Structure 1
Amino acid sequence: MNRITLAFAVLFSTAFAAQAEPTFCTARINGQDVPLAYDKDEPGLRDHFSRREILFTSWGRDTCPSYVVLRSLTPDLTDDQRGPFCLRHDKASDSIIGYDLGSRDAYGRCEAPATTVCQRVNQTKNAAVAISGAAARGAAKGARALPDGSGAVILSGSQSYITGALSSMGGAAAALASSPAIVAGAAVSVVAVGGAVYACRE
Protein backbone atom coordinates (compact mmCIF):
# COMPACT_ATOMS: atom_id res chain seq x y z
CA MET A 1 0.00 0.00 0.00
CA ASN A 2 2.93 2.38 0.55
CA ARG A 3 3.71 2.37 -3.18
CA ILE A 4 0.08 3.14 -3.99
CA THR A 5 -0.02 5.93 -1.41
CA LEU A 6 3.17 7.40 -2.88
CA ALA A 7 1.70 7.16 -6.37
CA PHE A 8 -1.39 8.99 -5.13
CA ALA A 9 0.80 11.77 -3.77
CA VAL A 10 2.69 11.99 -7.06
CA LEU A 11 -0.50 12.18 -9.10
CA PHE A 12 -1.97 14.71 -6.67
CA SER A 13 1.09 16.99 -6.72
CA THR A 14 1.37 16.71 -10.52
CA ALA A 15 -2.21 17.87 -10.85
CA PHE A 16 -1.57 20.89 -8.64
CA ALA A 17 1.72 21.67 -10.38
CA ALA A 18 -0.24 22.05 -13.61
CA GLN A 19 -2.58 24.50 -11.84
CA ALA A 20 -5.53 22.24 -12.54
CA GLU A 21 -8.24 21.19 -10.15
CA PRO A 22 -7.63 17.48 -9.47
CA THR A 23 -10.29 14.91 -10.19
CA PHE A 24 -10.59 12.37 -7.40
CA CYS A 25 -11.56 8.78 -8.05
CA THR A 26 -11.54 5.38 -6.39
CA ALA A 27 -9.83 2.25 -7.68
CA ARG A 28 -10.35 -1.27 -6.38
CA ILE A 29 -6.81 -2.64 -5.91
CA ASN A 30 -6.01 -5.89 -4.08
CA GLY A 31 -9.48 -5.98 -2.59
CA GLN A 32 -9.31 -2.45 -1.15
CA ASP A 33 -10.74 0.87 -2.30
CA VAL A 34 -7.81 3.17 -3.04
CA PRO A 35 -8.27 6.93 -3.60
CA LEU A 36 -6.37 8.46 -6.54
CA ALA A 37 -6.37 11.84 -8.24
CA TYR A 38 -5.60 13.01 -11.77
CA ASP A 39 -6.03 15.96 -14.10
CA LYS A 40 -8.94 15.09 -16.37
CA ASP A 41 -7.98 17.93 -18.72
CA GLU A 42 -4.41 16.71 -19.23
CA PRO A 43 -3.71 16.82 -22.98
CA GLY A 44 -3.89 13.38 -24.55
CA LEU A 45 -5.03 11.57 -21.40
CA ARG A 46 -8.50 10.82 -22.75
CA ASP A 47 -6.89 9.16 -25.77
CA HIS A 48 -6.19 6.25 -23.43
CA PHE A 49 -9.86 5.83 -22.43
CA SER A 50 -12.46 3.98 -24.47
CA ARG A 51 -16.02 5.32 -24.66
CA ARG A 52 -17.14 2.21 -22.84
CA GLU A 53 -14.72 2.92 -19.99
CA ILE A 54 -15.80 6.55 -19.70
CA LEU A 55 -19.37 5.30 -19.21
CA PHE A 56 -18.26 2.48 -16.89
CA THR A 57 -16.28 4.76 -14.56
CA SER A 58 -19.07 7.31 -14.25
CA TRP A 59 -20.96 5.02 -11.87
CA GLY A 60 -20.21 2.21 -9.47
CA ARG A 61 -17.42 1.69 -6.98
CA ASP A 62 -14.49 1.81 -9.42
CA THR A 63 -14.46 5.36 -10.72
CA CYS A 64 -10.80 5.61 -11.81
CA PRO A 65 -10.05 5.15 -15.50
CA SER A 66 -7.78 2.16 -16.03
CA TYR A 67 -4.91 4.28 -17.29
CA VAL A 68 -4.90 6.26 -14.05
CA VAL A 69 -4.67 2.96 -12.17
CA LEU A 70 -1.85 1.70 -14.41
CA ARG A 71 0.01 4.98 -13.90
CA SER A 72 -0.29 4.61 -10.13
CA LEU A 73 1.21 1.10 -10.31
CA THR A 74 4.05 2.12 -12.65
CA PRO A 75 4.95 5.68 -11.58
CA ASP A 76 8.46 5.53 -13.06
CA LEU A 77 7.30 4.91 -16.64
CA THR A 78 6.03 7.28 -19.30
CA ASP A 79 2.74 6.60 -21.05
CA ASP A 80 4.61 5.21 -24.07
CA GLN A 81 6.73 2.93 -21.87
CA ARG A 82 3.56 1.51 -20.29
CA GLY A 83 2.57 0.20 -23.72
CA PRO A 84 3.38 -3.49 -23.07
CA PHE A 85 1.42 -3.67 -19.82
CA CYS A 86 -2.23 -4.35 -19.02
CA LEU A 87 -4.08 -4.53 -15.70
CA ARG A 88 -4.59 -7.95 -14.16
CA HIS A 89 -8.13 -8.26 -12.83
CA ASP A 90 -9.22 -10.80 -10.24
CA LYS A 91 -12.88 -11.78 -10.59
CA ALA A 92 -13.12 -13.24 -7.08
CA SER A 93 -12.26 -9.93 -5.39
CA ASP A 94 -13.45 -7.82 -8.35
CA SER A 95 -10.26 -5.81 -8.13
CA ILE A 96 -6.97 -5.12 -9.86
CA ILE A 97 -4.21 -7.32 -8.44
CA GLY A 98 -1.30 -6.00 -10.49
CA TYR A 99 -0.20 -5.67 -14.07
CA ASP A 100 0.97 -8.10 -16.72
CA LEU A 101 2.24 -8.14 -20.29
CA GLY A 102 -0.41 -8.14 -22.98
CA SER A 103 -3.02 -6.26 -24.95
CA ARG A 104 -5.71 -4.29 -23.11
CA ASP A 105 -9.44 -4.62 -23.46
CA ALA A 106 -11.84 -1.66 -23.38
CA TYR A 107 -11.37 -1.43 -19.60
CA GLY A 108 -7.55 -1.53 -19.64
CA ARG A 109 -7.53 -5.11 -18.39
CA CYS A 110 -5.56 -7.91 -20.00
CA GLU A 111 -7.47 -9.11 -23.07
CA ALA A 112 -6.30 -12.69 -22.63
CA PRO A 113 -6.45 -14.28 -19.17
CA ALA A 114 -3.31 -13.11 -17.39
CA THR A 115 -1.03 -15.87 -16.15
CA THR A 116 1.72 -13.76 -14.61
CA VAL A 117 2.11 -10.67 -12.45
CA CYS A 118 4.89 -8.18 -13.12
CA GLN A 119 6.96 -6.29 -10.58
CA ARG A 120 9.91 -3.97 -10.76
CA VAL A 121 13.08 -5.79 -9.73
CA ASN A 122 15.83 -3.26 -10.38
CA GLN A 123 16.26 0.33 -9.23
CA THR A 124 19.04 1.37 -11.62
CA LYS A 125 19.16 1.66 -15.38
CA ASN A 126 22.38 -0.37 -15.76
CA ALA A 127 20.61 -3.73 -15.95
CA ALA A 128 18.05 -2.40 -18.42
CA VAL A 129 20.83 -1.02 -20.61
CA ALA A 130 22.69 -4.35 -20.47
CA ILE A 131 19.60 -6.34 -21.48
CA SER A 132 18.68 -3.93 -24.28
CA GLY A 133 22.28 -3.91 -25.51
CA ALA A 134 22.50 -7.70 -25.52
CA ALA A 135 19.26 -7.90 -27.49
CA ALA A 136 20.50 -5.34 -30.03
CA ARG A 137 23.72 -7.32 -30.55
CA GLY A 138 21.81 -10.57 -30.88
CA ALA A 139 23.65 -11.87 -27.82
CA ALA A 140 20.45 -12.67 -25.93
CA LYS A 141 18.68 -15.52 -27.69
CA GLY A 142 14.92 -15.13 -27.48
CA ALA A 143 15.02 -11.41 -26.65
CA ARG A 144 12.68 -9.25 -28.69
CA ALA A 145 12.13 -5.52 -28.92
CA LEU A 146 8.48 -4.53 -29.10
CA PRO A 147 7.50 -2.53 -32.20
CA ASP A 148 4.97 -0.40 -30.28
CA GLY A 149 7.17 2.60 -29.54
CA SER A 150 7.56 1.69 -25.86
CA GLY A 151 11.24 0.82 -26.26
CA ALA A 152 10.67 -2.37 -24.27
CA VAL A 153 12.88 -5.42 -24.72
CA ILE A 154 11.40 -8.69 -23.51
CA LEU A 155 13.37 -11.82 -22.67
CA SER A 156 11.16 -14.86 -22.01
CA GLY A 157 11.78 -18.47 -21.07
CA SER A 158 12.13 -20.91 -18.24
CA GLN A 159 13.58 -19.74 -14.95
CA SER A 160 16.83 -21.60 -15.62
CA TYR A 161 17.18 -20.09 -19.10
CA ILE A 162 16.51 -16.54 -17.86
CA THR A 163 18.96 -16.97 -14.98
CA GLY A 164 21.63 -18.23 -17.38
CA ALA A 165 21.01 -15.47 -19.92
CA LEU A 166 21.23 -12.72 -17.30
CA SER A 167 24.35 -14.27 -15.75
CA SER A 168 26.08 -14.34 -19.14
CA MET A 169 25.52 -10.60 -19.56
CA GLY A 170 27.53 -9.87 -16.42
CA GLY A 171 27.40 -6.78 -14.22
CA ALA A 172 24.03 -5.41 -13.17
CA ALA A 173 22.13 -7.88 -15.36
CA ALA A 174 23.89 -10.84 -13.72
CA ALA A 175 22.94 -9.51 -10.30
CA LEU A 176 19.27 -9.90 -11.28
CA ALA A 177 19.70 -13.64 -11.83
CA SER A 178 19.24 -14.34 -8.12
CA SER A 179 16.28 -11.99 -7.67
CA PRO A 180 13.41 -13.73 -5.82
CA ALA A 181 10.98 -12.51 -8.49
CA ILE A 182 12.95 -14.47 -11.09
CA VAL A 183 14.05 -17.50 -9.08
CA ALA A 184 10.52 -18.22 -7.81
CA GLY A 185 8.90 -18.49 -11.25
CA ALA A 186 8.81 -21.56 -13.48
CA ALA A 187 8.29 -19.37 -16.55
CA VAL A 188 9.56 -15.82 -16.49
CA SER A 189 9.53 -12.79 -18.76
CA VAL A 190 12.05 -10.05 -18.05
CA VAL A 191 11.12 -6.63 -19.42
CA ALA A 192 13.71 -3.87 -19.80
CA VAL A 193 11.93 -0.57 -20.36
CA GLY A 194 12.42 3.02 -19.30
CA GLY A 195 15.68 2.40 -17.49
CA ALA A 196 14.13 -0.25 -15.24
CA VAL A 197 13.69 -4.01 -15.28
CA TYR A 198 10.45 -5.84 -14.56
CA ALA A 199 10.02 -9.55 -13.92
CA CYS A 200 6.72 -11.12 -14.90
CA ARG A 201 6.23 -14.57 -13.42
CA GLU A 202 3.49 -17.05 -12.64
Structure 2
Amino acid sequence: MIRPTLFLAALLSAPLAAQAEPAFCTARINARDVPLAYDRDEPGLRDHFSRREILFTSWGRDTCPSYVVLRSLTPDLTDDERGPFCLRHDKASDSIIGYDLGRRDAYGRCETPAKTVCQRVNQTKNAAVAITRAAARGAINGARALPDGSGAVILSGSQGYISGVLSSIGGAAAAMASSPAIVAGAAVSVVAVGGAVYACRE
Protein backbone atom coordinates (compact mmCIF):
# COMPACT_ATOMS: atom_id res chain seq x y z
CA MET A 1 0.00 0.00 0.00
CA ILE A 2 1.33 3.44 -0.97
CA ARG A 3 1.32 5.92 1.86
CA PRO A 4 -0.57 9.16 1.01
CA THR A 5 2.49 11.33 1.61
CA LEU A 6 4.61 9.30 -0.83
CA PHE A 7 1.83 9.28 -3.42
CA LEU A 8 1.46 13.07 -3.15
CA ALA A 9 5.23 13.53 -3.50
CA ALA A 10 5.22 11.37 -6.63
CA LEU A 11 2.42 13.41 -8.17
CA LEU A 12 4.17 16.68 -7.42
CA SER A 13 7.46 15.50 -8.88
CA ALA A 14 5.97 13.98 -12.05
CA PRO A 15 5.66 17.23 -14.05
CA LEU A 16 9.22 18.16 -13.13
CA ALA A 17 10.53 14.83 -14.33
CA ALA A 18 8.70 15.27 -17.66
CA GLN A 19 10.40 18.59 -18.36
CA ALA A 20 13.27 18.47 -20.82
CA GLU A 21 16.71 19.21 -19.49
CA PRO A 22 18.10 22.47 -20.88
CA ALA A 23 20.97 22.35 -23.33
CA PHE A 24 23.94 24.40 -22.16
CA CYS A 25 26.25 26.18 -24.57
CA THR A 26 28.90 28.86 -24.64
CA ALA A 27 28.71 32.07 -26.67
CA ARG A 28 31.67 34.32 -27.34
CA ILE A 29 30.32 37.83 -26.62
CA ASN A 30 32.51 40.92 -26.27
CA ALA A 31 35.63 38.74 -26.06
CA ARG A 32 34.23 36.76 -23.12
CA ASP A 33 32.81 33.25 -22.91
CA VAL A 34 29.18 33.56 -21.80
CA PRO A 35 27.21 30.45 -20.73
CA LEU A 36 23.66 30.22 -22.07
CA ALA A 37 20.93 27.59 -21.98
CA TYR A 38 18.06 26.71 -24.30
CA ASP A 39 15.51 23.99 -24.98
CA ARG A 40 17.02 21.80 -27.69
CA ASP A 41 13.58 20.25 -28.38
CA GLU A 42 11.66 23.51 -28.72
CA PRO A 43 9.32 23.17 -31.73
CA GLY A 44 10.58 25.12 -34.70
CA LEU A 45 13.86 26.19 -33.09
CA ARG A 46 16.01 24.26 -35.55
CA ASP A 47 14.26 26.05 -38.42
CA HIS A 48 16.44 29.04 -37.48
CA PHE A 49 19.72 27.10 -37.88
CA SER A 50 21.47 26.17 -41.09
CA ARG A 51 23.04 22.71 -41.35
CA ARG A 52 26.40 24.43 -41.56
CA GLU A 53 25.77 26.13 -38.22
CA ILE A 54 24.69 22.90 -36.55
CA LEU A 55 28.02 21.38 -37.56
CA PHE A 56 29.92 24.55 -36.64
CA THR A 57 28.49 24.70 -33.11
CA SER A 58 29.07 21.02 -32.38
CA TRP A 59 32.76 21.62 -31.78
CA GLY A 60 35.00 24.40 -30.56
CA ARG A 61 34.62 27.02 -27.87
CA ASP A 62 31.68 28.95 -29.35
CA THR A 63 28.93 26.32 -29.17
CA CYS A 64 25.71 28.38 -29.01
CA PRO A 65 23.53 28.56 -32.11
CA SER A 66 23.31 32.13 -33.40
CA TYR A 67 19.60 32.39 -32.75
CA VAL A 68 20.13 31.53 -29.09
CA VAL A 69 22.69 34.35 -28.91
CA LEU A 70 20.36 36.80 -30.68
CA ARG A 71 17.55 35.86 -28.30
CA SER A 72 19.78 36.57 -25.32
CA LEU A 73 20.61 40.03 -26.70
CA THR A 74 16.98 40.90 -27.57
CA PRO A 75 14.90 39.24 -24.83
CA ASP A 76 11.84 41.46 -25.36
CA LEU A 77 11.29 40.44 -29.00
CA THR A 78 9.61 37.42 -30.54
CA ASP A 79 11.43 35.35 -33.13
CA ASP A 80 9.48 37.08 -35.92
CA GLU A 81 10.28 40.52 -34.52
CA ARG A 82 13.99 39.68 -34.53
CA GLY A 83 13.76 39.35 -38.31
CA PRO A 84 15.54 42.64 -39.19
CA PHE A 85 18.54 41.95 -36.96
CA CYS A 86 21.79 40.04 -37.47
CA LEU A 87 24.72 39.42 -35.15
CA ARG A 88 27.65 41.79 -35.43
CA HIS A 89 30.90 39.80 -35.37
CA ASP A 90 34.31 41.24 -34.57
CA LYS A 91 37.15 39.35 -36.27
CA ALA A 92 39.86 40.74 -33.98
CA SER A 93 38.29 39.26 -30.83
CA ASP A 94 36.43 36.50 -32.72
CA SER A 95 33.29 37.34 -30.79
CA ILE A 96 29.84 38.84 -31.11
CA ILE A 97 29.85 42.52 -30.17
CA GLY A 98 26.15 43.27 -30.61
CA TYR A 99 23.50 43.19 -33.29
CA ASP A 100 22.77 45.29 -36.35
CA LEU A 101 20.24 45.60 -39.15
CA GLY A 102 20.80 43.35 -42.14
CA ARG A 103 20.59 39.91 -43.69
CA ARG A 104 22.13 36.97 -41.86
CA ASP A 105 24.69 34.57 -43.23
CA ALA A 106 24.69 30.83 -42.47
CA TYR A 107 26.01 31.58 -38.96
CA GLY A 108 23.47 34.29 -38.10
CA ARG A 109 26.07 37.00 -38.53
CA CYS A 110 25.57 40.09 -40.66
CA GLU A 111 25.99 39.05 -44.29
CA THR A 112 27.79 42.26 -45.15
CA PRO A 113 30.20 43.93 -42.72
CA ALA A 114 28.13 45.78 -40.13
CA LYS A 115 28.60 49.53 -39.96
CA THR A 116 26.39 50.19 -36.97
CA VAL A 117 25.43 48.63 -33.66
CA CYS A 118 21.90 48.70 -32.29
CA GLN A 119 20.59 49.22 -28.78
CA ARG A 120 17.16 49.57 -27.26
CA VAL A 121 16.39 53.19 -26.43
CA ASN A 122 13.01 53.12 -24.71
CA GLN A 123 11.42 51.23 -21.86
CA THR A 124 7.77 51.55 -22.85
CA LYS A 125 5.85 50.69 -25.99
CA ASN A 126 4.33 54.17 -26.40
CA ALA A 127 7.14 55.44 -28.62
CA ALA A 128 7.06 52.37 -30.86
CA VAL A 129 3.29 52.66 -31.26
CA ALA A 130 3.56 56.37 -32.10
CA ILE A 131 6.24 55.79 -34.74
CA THR A 132 4.37 52.87 -36.29
CA ARG A 133 1.11 54.82 -36.47
CA ALA A 134 2.80 57.91 -37.94
CA ALA A 135 4.45 55.76 -40.60
CA ALA A 136 1.17 53.99 -41.41
CA ARG A 137 -0.61 57.27 -42.12
CA GLY A 138 2.27 58.52 -44.27
CA ALA A 139 3.35 61.23 -41.85
CA ILE A 140 7.04 60.25 -42.00
CA ASN A 141 9.04 60.68 -45.18
CA GLY A 142 11.38 57.78 -45.86
CA ALA A 143 9.87 55.38 -43.33
CA ARG A 144 9.77 51.81 -44.55
CA ALA A 145 7.89 48.82 -43.18
CA LEU A 146 9.71 45.53 -43.67
CA PRO A 147 7.70 42.90 -45.57
CA ASP A 148 9.22 40.02 -43.56
CA GLY A 149 6.49 39.51 -40.98
CA SER A 150 8.45 41.29 -38.25
CA GLY A 151 6.20 44.36 -38.29
CA ALA A 152 9.28 46.58 -38.09
CA VAL A 153 9.22 50.19 -39.24
CA ILE A 154 12.64 51.67 -40.01
CA LEU A 155 13.65 55.32 -40.32
CA SER A 156 17.15 56.09 -41.57
CA GLY A 157 19.02 59.34 -42.03
CA SER A 158 21.28 61.88 -40.42
CA GLN A 159 21.12 62.48 -36.70
CA GLY A 160 19.47 65.86 -37.31
CA TYR A 161 16.81 64.39 -39.57
CA ILE A 162 15.97 61.54 -37.18
CA SER A 163 15.78 63.88 -34.18
CA GLY A 164 13.51 66.20 -36.17
CA VAL A 165 11.17 63.38 -37.18
CA LEU A 166 10.90 62.05 -33.63
CA SER A 167 10.23 65.56 -32.31
CA SER A 168 7.48 66.09 -34.89
CA ILE A 169 5.68 62.90 -33.80
CA GLY A 170 5.52 64.21 -30.23
CA GLY A 171 4.92 62.42 -26.94
CA ALA A 172 7.13 59.45 -26.12
CA ALA A 173 8.77 59.55 -29.56
CA ALA A 174 9.82 63.17 -29.10
CA ALA A 175 11.35 62.33 -25.74
CA MET A 176 13.79 60.02 -27.54
CA ALA A 177 15.05 62.72 -29.91
CA SER A 178 17.80 63.70 -27.49
CA SER A 179 18.72 60.14 -26.51
CA PRO A 180 22.52 59.61 -26.44
CA ALA A 181 22.07 56.61 -28.72
CA ILE A 182 20.65 58.93 -31.39
CA VAL A 183 22.56 62.16 -30.78
CA ALA A 184 25.96 60.43 -30.77
CA GLY A 185 25.65 59.04 -34.30
CA ALA A 186 26.19 60.91 -37.56
CA ALA A 187 23.97 58.41 -39.40
CA VAL A 188 21.18 56.72 -37.50
CA SER A 189 18.51 54.11 -38.16
CA VAL A 190 15.58 53.91 -35.76
CA VAL A 191 13.66 50.64 -35.65
CA ALA A 192 10.21 50.41 -34.10
CA VAL A 193 9.34 46.75 -33.60
CA GLY A 194 7.48 44.69 -31.05
CA GLY A 195 6.60 47.58 -28.75
CA ALA A 196 10.23 48.68 -28.50
CA VAL A 197 12.47 51.18 -30.32
CA TYR A 198 16.06 50.50 -31.27
CA ALA A 199 18.65 53.00 -32.45
CA CYS A 200 21.36 51.71 -34.75
CA ARG A 201 24.28 54.09 -35.17
CA GLU A 202 27.86 54.07 -36.35
- TM-score, normalization by structure 1: 0.91
Aligned pairs for 1:16-35 within 5 A: 19-35=19-35
Partner residue of 2:56?
56
Partner residue of 1:152?
152
CA distance in 1, matches of 2:177, 2:103: 27
Deviation at 1:20, TM superposition (A): 1.5
Partner residue of 1:12?
none
CA distance in 2, matches of 1:38, 1:83: 19
Partner residue of 1:126?
126
Deviation at 1:29, TM superposition (A): 0.0
- TM-score, normalization by structure 2: 0.91
Partner residue of 2:135?
135
- 1:91 paired to 2:95: no
Q: Which whole-Å deviations, capped at 9, do the CAs of 1:71-95 have from their partners, x for residues lacking one?
A: 0000000000000000000000000
CA distance in 1, matches of 2:141, 2:126: 20
Partner residue of 1:109?
109
Aligned pairs for 1:178-197 within 5 A: 178-197=178-197
**RMSD of Structure 2 on Structure 1 (CA):** 0.9
Any runs of at least 4 consecutive aligned residues in structure 1 with deviations exceeding 6 A, and if so which?
none
Gaps of 5+ in 1: 1-15
CA distance in 2, matches of 1:19, 1:140: 48
Q: Which whole-Å deviations, capped at 9, do the CAs of 1:55-111 have from their partners, x for residues lacking one?
A: 000000100000000000000000000000000000000000000000000000000
CA distance in 2, matches of 1:20, 1:157: 46
Count of matched residue pairs: 186
- 1:162 paired to 2:154: no
Deviation at 1:19, TM superposition (A): 1.9
CA distance in 2, matches of 1:110, 1:93: 16
Deviation at 1:47, TM superposition (A): 0.1
CA distance in 2, matches of 1:162, 1:122: 15
